[in-house]
Structures are given as structure tokens and as C-alpha cells.
Chains A and B, each alone.
Chain A
Amino acid sequence: MAIIRDVMPAFDLLQPSTSADAQKLLEQCGDDAWVMAGGMDSFDWLKDRIKKPKVVVDLSGIDELKGIRVTGDGVEIGAMTTLTEIANHAEIRKNYGVLSQAVSLVASPQIRNQGTLGGNVSQDVRCWYYRDGWPCYRAGGNICYADTPVGRNREHAIFGADRCVAVHPSDSVPALIALDAKFVLQTPKGERTVDAEDYFVGPDMDITKINMLQPGDLLTAIRIPSTWAGSRFYFEKVRDRNVWDFPLMNVASAIMLSGNTIGRMRIAVNAVSPRPMRLKAVEDAVQGKPADATTGEMAGKMAVEGAVPLQFNAYKIPLMRNLVKRAIAGVPSQQA
């Protein structure tokens, strides 16, 4: 683990009070700006002195980015809404329980009180080689220290690796993908809305970025349509320490059942790939089939097709197979 040095490098702290001001500031500062939401990821980087931005744009004073609004077609969650508020919100617990469950499993209560949804979905990868400041591909260098014959890669990718093998660590993202959420961005060209799964960028496209935000872009809200409200949801997170840890893997699904037959389904897995994975082939394959163990078994096998394990993470293949199976077939309550 990195040594926290406590003293951050000097930077200009900008604290806008409106999202329009924030976006303008980001546009003006360009690559020099660092966007800070709850600070849970940012302070690691800054205190480790690995990232040394000239300007930090602190979004904590922008009230319009906070809160959950029930709309005619679902809910809109401000990017600066805390994970605790989302976990406890009545409408979300009632109709979008998969998100409530996912965010309630993020880190610790203190972190959930401070951490925001925008920050959780936009956080950087947790590969320790990268976060220790070594000159890996993601840091702009020319090596991946994790994907070597002796690299420590137990937590790393089994899909989608392209030089960098770090995985996306968010718990909320698979739930948002399962709910078909839309991310709302303020950009220099105006507002833009993207599907949840399209917000993320793999290393094949841009190895130094984890999402599509460009300098001057600001994630302002996440909209969840009512399409999947009240579906049968499933969320499961597997981690080394149940009290507080990033996921070794997590899965989220939303299933529209007709009796016990799967009408439609959305399912996503995270911490298996540099960007969260929506399992579209699985969704198509299970349509019209019973939501039982046989279908789950088939879906699990299909989900892991093409997986390429590294030296120390082959366990992720059976783990993913079983998580996908459980997301479809469900589990007896004593095992859940």
C-alpha cells in the first residue's frame, strides 16, 4: 500500500456554487484541473503526491448536484448525492432496490456518508502498482507491473485487458447498468446524456482514462428510468473483508418475470474487466427461459467464455460463473 504522506502538494482550490460555474472552471483549466466530489479517491492521490494537479475544483458546495428527485419517469440522482442518502432513500429502496443494496455495500459507513454517487462511478482503478506511482501504462509509462510472471494480480482483470489489467472497482455501476441508467454530462457543447455502460472507457481506447469525461466535462446527475422499477433484482458483492473492502467481483441484475419465465433481463458484472461489463449475450440467451438453476448454469458458462486469467486470478472464472448463475436463479435465503 502507498504511504500516506499527509501533506498534499500545493494547488489552487476552486469552490464553485453552481454546476454551470463548475463546468466553466473545468473548461478554463483544462488538463490542469482535478474534479473532487466526496474526496474519497482524490485525497489518496493527493496525499500520496502521485497526482499533482494545479487546480482542484471542489464540487461539495454545489447544492443543485445533491439530492434525489422523483420524476415522471423514474428518479434523478444528483452526482454529489451521498451513498448513504441513496441507500436510505425510500423510493430507491422500494423500486430500485438493487442500487440501494449496491451502495450500502460500498466501503464503510463513514465513507458512504462522505462518498458520492458521481465519485463512486468515476473513481480510478485500485491497482496498487498504478496507485503507488510507478510508471505503468495507465500512468503514461510503458509497462504493466501487474501482468508479469511474478506480478501480483489476484484482483485484476480476466476480460478486456489491453496492456493494463486493472479492473473497475465500483459497486454502484453494475446496479446502474442493470437499471439502464443514463449519465448526464455538462460539456462545453452543452448537456449530453450517455448510457451507463458507455460512460466507461477501456485501455484499448484510452489507457490513461477510465471514463469518457474530457477536460471541461462534468458529470451532474444520473437518471434511472422507471422501466425496471419493481423488477426482481439481485446484487452480490464478493470481497476479502466483509467489513470494508473493494469488490473482488460483484454482479447486479434486473429481471422482468412472467410467472417464473424471464421476460427481459439486464445483468452487469464489475471488477472483472477495466470497464464494467454488461453481459448482453447472456441477457439475450436467457430471454423466455425459466429463472432457475439450469438457466443460471447455462448463463454462467456463457458469461465466462473468452475469459483470460492472469497468474493469480483464475479463481475469478468460477466465481463469475457462479455469481451470474445466482443472479438468475437466485439463492436460498440462508446462502444469500
Chain B
Amino acid sequence: MTVVYAVRYFIVVSLVPRLFLAGFIVAAAAAAVRLTGNPTRAVESLTPVLLLQLFVASSGYRLPARRGHYDLLVTSGAPRWQIAVAHCLVSVAPGIVSWLCIGVLELVASHGAQTASFAAGTFAAFVGSSLVAWSAAVYSSRTAAAIGWLLVMTLPVAHFMSPLRILGTHADHSDRFVILFVSGMAVLAFVTAVTSIVRGATPLEAAQ
């Protein structure tokens, strides 16, 4: 059993609901219309995708695992770290794909002149936020994570450390600290989450 099997498993169990997928499609379509008219508006187009990604990537691992939904996978022989990575990949993929599509649209619309979608800040914002969101939700449900994100967004510190702020910025920009902070948080959160899945127990809700 490999990570490919684990990815297929999580696709089958519909880790990302169709409603969210539709949301990404709508956001990407709106971005296409906007960028066709004005290729410099990539950051505006990426903002809703990034916000949606915060909620979608917070798919939650432990709750379905405790309901036994992943028993078949966990007892299949696939290493736990591969299961964790596959869960993360499937959770973050829709947002990452949408971001890449908008990036390609920006490049095409501007004939290669605009690259805000692939700037270091955008990269850190998307990859970092996706990993932090996934990791933070490993021990919670999607609903709890969504409420958490909404609360976090109201904190004063969120204005300074928000990934939305670094969309389109380059590494030599004054926001370099935020880029490093988001990247560091992402790596730390991801390693912690994967470790907790690898080492953690999976009691069945009904058996406690």
C-alpha cells in the first residue's frame, strides 16, 4: 500500500465536499473574467480563493477517524505518515489547484508581464495557510475549525500576520518577516500534526 492508495481512499470518502469544490470553480471563473479585463488584479482574484482555502483545508482528521471511517485504510498496511500526508494533500489540493490556475491565467492575460500569483509572498500565503489550516484542524471538526478561523480573523494581530497581506509580495519586500513567519509556522504545524497522527491512538467514539 502506498501514498497513492491513501490519496485514492480520501478522494473516495469525499474529504472535500462538492459545495467547496463549486466555490473554488466559481472563484476561478470570476478570476478569469477579472484578469481578462485587467491582468494586474491577480491579488484581488486570489483573496477569496485563499479565504476559502482556510476553511476547506481544515478538513479534520481525528473526528472521522474516531468514527471508524479510516479503519479500512489504517489497517491496510499503509504507513501512518503516508496516510497523514495523503490526507493533507487531498485536503489542500483544490485550493492549490485553483491558485495555480489563476496564476496561469494571470501569465496568459498579461503575456508574462505579471507574476504576482507566483511571488514568494503568494507562495508562502497559499502553501503556508493550507498547511497551518490542515494541521490546526487535525484534532477538530471542520465546523469547529471554521469558527476558530473566524475568531482568529477578528484578533488585532491577524492584521499584521495575515497571509492575505503577503499575497503578491516578493521576498525582498518589507513583508519579508511575515513571509518567514507564515512559512515557519506552516512547517512547525505540519510536522506536529503528522507526528500526532503517526503516534496517536484512534479510539472508537462508540466504545468509550
Task: Verify that A and B bind, or say they do not.
Answer: no
A positions within 8 Å CB-CB of B: none
Question: B interface vs A, CB < 8 Å?
Answer: none
